[in-house]
Amino acid sequence: MTFYQPVGNETELFQAAADNGLPVLIKGPTGCGKTRFVRYMAEKLNRPVYTVACHDDLTAADLVGRHLIGPEGTYWQDGPLTRAVREGGICYLDEVVEARKDTTVVLHPLADDRRELPIERTGELLPAAPGFMLVVSYNPGYQSLLKGMKPSTRQRFVSLRFDYPSEESEKTIVMAESGCDSDLAQQLVSLATALRNLKDHDLEEAASTRLLIHTALLIRAGVPATAACLAGMIEPLSDDEATVNSLMEVVYAVFGRPEESR
């Protein structure tokens, strides 16, 4: 089963929402565990999950389905949203605010007490099978007037706010996901905490738990610690060379400079 380290009452809230047929909105920074949480809860509930990575070109047909041409003529193919509705599964729309507004409107009848999906191209009004659940996520840090979620949409969901876990929980996660020892996990978590506390660097995102796991895996593979931190954690945070050099000073404070390493 997928490993997930609860950091609050999110599993209980998700379970209660699932039991009552309520849609769920998860908001939080990149790499804090939103997608892993959904996968974990889908396994716990024993429901299939259909994940859609939303983007500017995502159309309603990409979600609902479309007619295709095959050897025997035209046939209808369900999209991931329709499959989840038919099967009683979970449809997870990752970074939903990236999708066009005219696309997300199709979610409205599924996110209220109707729980039905109108399929205009076939004339079908599809009621959601028992167990169907609509889950969406986004990163509030990337919101803008053009890409924010409309209040009329947001208020249809039970909302869970995610953040980076506590140091002790994050240490447990890094150890479980990378197989590294306690000392290395603690060093990486301390480094991430120091990087997240920096206020004088214009970083779009803080160091995520995902980056800590990547770095730990590199170190376990034999890459020197400072080189692993540079490739696995620091370079993904910024393209600006001066910023990268400044962030590496924090790495050196935790792991020592290469010439100081044994």
Work out the average pLDDT over 166-178. Answer: 95
Asked whether the predicted pLDDT for residue 262 surpasses 50, the reply is no
CB proximity list for 8: less than 8 A, separation 6 or greater: none
User: What pLDDT, in 10s, does the model give residues 7-16?
Assistant: 899 999 999 9
CA distance 66 to 74: 10
Check: CB of residue 52 under 8 Å from CB of residue 93.
yes
User: In the beta sheet, which residues pair with residue 125?
Assistant: 118
User: What pLDDT, in 10s, does the model give residues 217-229?
Assistant: 999 999 999 999 9
| Mean of pLDDT over the chain | 91
Q: At what angle do helices 182-196 and 167-178 cross, to 10 degrees?
A: 130
Check: CB of residue 169 under 8 Å from CB of residue 4.
no
Distances (CA, A) of 128 to 169, 183, 242: 37, 49, 53
CA distance 41 to 34: 11
Check: CB of residue 117 under 8 Å from CB of residue 126.
yes
Q: At what angle do helices 182-196 and 209-220 cross, to 10 degrees?
A: 140
Q: CA torsion sign, 131 to 155 to 206 to 93?
A: positive
- Please give the pLDDT value at position 150: 78
User: In the beta sheet, which residues pair with residue 127?
Assistant: 116
User: What pLDDT, in 10s, does the model give residues 190-207?
Assistant: 999 999 988 656 677 889
CA distance 94 to 135: 8
Distance of CA 7 to the CA centre of its chain: 16
Residue-range domain boundaries for the chain: 10-161, 167-260
Work out the average pLDDT over 158-172. Answer: 94
Fold of 10-161: Rossmann fold (3.40.50)
User: What pLDDT, in 10s, does the model give residues 32-66?
Assistant: 999 999 999 999 999 999 999 999 899 899 999 99
Separation of first and last alpha carbons in the chain: 38
Q: Which of 156, 155, 78, 154 is nearest to 115 (CA)?
A: 156
CA distance 118 to 86: 12
Q: What's at 254, amino acid-wise?
A: V
